[in-house]
């Protein structure tokens, strides 16, 4: 069982102890990947951004002073990397398979339930892109990044109340557009 603040303790130790950094890395790599993936919709780019994020974190870990959540610090880096990616997309035109990763979930024999749920999940993913950027980002950080409201607020430079409202409005939008179909 990890104690509260364990990440921050590890992060302080990580500047001189790679094992501590590795522990943090293992703890966060999937979350950072997921967050990057929902920005890129491309597995290779998500891997690249994830790698960039952790390499930058490794280089900068000694400057982390533990005054905020480690997760927020790490995802701030990831967010910068993803913003770079978006700014650069109009210059980058690789032959991407945009919807690059699919988990068909067909291991679940209850295909009816799968299909019903998947339709909603498909819709949520599709409609998420048409929400305002702030709402998208709040949802990405909360769900794909797995951050709590405080951490999300820190990354976005917004108040906790603002993040709560962004998330709430985003979910209301998604409900209006997606729920209950089929």
Partner 1 sequence: MKDKKRTAEELEKYIDRPDSYASELDPALERVVDSLRHAASQSHPRPGFANELAQRLKEKEQTMSEKRFRPQWWQVLRRVAAGGVAVAALLALVLVAFGLFGGLEPEPAALDQEAETVTSFETVTATDGNFAGTEFVLATELSDEPEEAPLLTVLDVRLPRADGGQSALAAARNFGIADGTLYEAPNDPNGWIVMAEDGRNIVYRESDRPDGPIADLIYYNNPQAQRETGEPLPYAEAVQTAREFLQLPDDYEAAPEQMVPSSSVRTVHFYKVFEGHPIVGTEAAAEIAVSPGGQVAYARLMPVGVAPAGDPVRIKSDRQALDDLIHGESGYSFSYTYTASDPVQYFTPPPPEWEVGDAVTVDGWVNVLLPVNGGEPRVELRARDGATYLLTGPTVAELVDHSGGQIRVSGTVAEQKGPARWDLALASWEPLPPSEGQSGACHIGVFRRDVDAATLETDEGETYQLAYAPPELNGGERVEVCAEAFPAGDPVEWVRMASPPASEGGHSGSGGGGSGSVGVAETVVEAVAVTRTVTSSAGDGREVTESVVESVAGGEEGAAPASPYDLGEQVRVTGSLAGSIRVDGDRRDPQLVLLVDADEDPLTPAVAFPLTGDEALLEEMAEHYRLHLAVDGVVVAADPEPGGPDGQAIRVESFERVWPEQRLEAFLGRVQTETLEEREVVVFIDEETGQRYVLTTHYPGPEGEEQRWFVTGVVHPEETFAGLPLLEPAGISSGSNVDAAESAAELPLDKEIPVYNAGAVSGPPWMQGTLVIDDVVLGYQYRSVPGPDGDGEPRQLKPAWIFYGHNEDGTISFTIVVDATRSENGGS
Report 99-128 residues binding partner 1 (CB under 8 A): 99-117, 119-121, 124-126
Cβ at position 13, least distance to partner 1 in Å: 13
Cβ at position 165, least distance to partner 1 in Å: 5
Q: What is the dihedral of CA 115, 125, 33, 109, to 10 degrees?
A: 0
Task: Report the residue from 45, 70, 71, 135 that binds partner 1 according to the rule CB under 8 A.
Answer: 45
Please give the backbone phi and psi of residue 44, each rounded to the nearest 5 degrees, phi first: -65, -45
The number of angstroms, rounded, from the C-alpha of 88 to the middle of its chain's C-alpha atoms is 19
Binding string, 133-172, against partner 1, x = CB under 8 A? x--x--x--xxx-x-xx-------x------xx-xx--xx
Helix (H, G, I), strand (E, B) or coil at 131: coil
d(CA 141, CA 151): 9
CA distance to 82, 87, 124, 129, 171, per residue, from 179 (Å): 29, 32, 9, 16, 11
Contact between 1 and partner 1 per CB under 8 A: no
Cβ at position 2, least distance to partner 1 in Å: 16
d(CA 94, CA 100): 13
Cβ at position 25, least distance to partner 1 in Å: 6
Cβ at position 111, least distance to partner 1 in Å: 4
Task: Report the residue from 54, 70, 74, 151 that binds partner 1 according to the rule CB under 8 A.
Answer: 54
- Please count the residues of this chain forming the interface with partner 1, following the rule CB under 8 A: 102
For residue 17 the two structure tokens come to 């102890």
């Amino acid at each position: 069982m990890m104690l509260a603040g364990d990440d921050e303790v590890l992060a302080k130790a990580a500047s001189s102890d790679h094992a501590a950094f590795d522990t943090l890395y293992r703890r966060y790599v999937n979350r950072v990947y997921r967050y990057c993936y929902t920005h890129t919709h491309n597995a290779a780019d998500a891997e690249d951004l994830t790698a960039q994020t952790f390499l930058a974190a490794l280089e900068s870990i000694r400057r982390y002073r533990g005054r905020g959540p480690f997760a927020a610090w790490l995802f701030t880096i990831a967010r910068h990397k993803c913003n770079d990616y978006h700014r650069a997309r109009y210059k980058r035109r690789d032959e991407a398979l945009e919807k690059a990763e699919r988990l068909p979930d067909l291991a679940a024999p209850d295909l009816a339930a799968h299909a019903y749920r998947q339709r909603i999940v498909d819709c949520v993913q599709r409609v998420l892109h048409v929400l305002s950027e702030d709402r998208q980002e709040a949802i990405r950080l909360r769900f794909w990044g797995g951050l709590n409201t405080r951490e999300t607020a820190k990354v976005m430079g917004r108040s906790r109340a603002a993040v709560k409202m962004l998330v709430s409005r985003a979910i209301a939008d998604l409900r209006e557009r997606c729920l209950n179909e089929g």
